[in-house]
Amino acid sequence: MKYQVGDTISYRPFCGGIRHVTIDTKEGDIKKGDPGFVGELVWSDCEYDKGRLGRVWGYDAQVTGIISS
């Protein structure tokens, strides 16, 4: 999925829910050689994220959609 810095995306993290994140940076090697992103968490339905906002990261393979560009 093609997304850019500034886009808000949805992705499925390992907690099993969905997160919405506004992208700050894209990385060719976010971890273990896989491409991904760092961004600001704006919404989540993960139990782990209750009451939590801030920066999160994820892999490109976890992206499920672009919410806004």
Q: How do the domains of the chain map onto residue ranges?
A: 8-68
Q: How far apart are CA 49 and CA 45, in angstroms?
A: 7
Does 1 score more than 90 pLDDT? Answer: no
- Specify the DSSP element, H or E, that contains 39: strand 34-44
- Residue 51 pLDDT: 81
- Residue 47 pLDDT: 87
pLDDT in tens, 7-59: 999 999 988 899 999 999 999 999 999 999 999 999 999 988 888 889 999 99
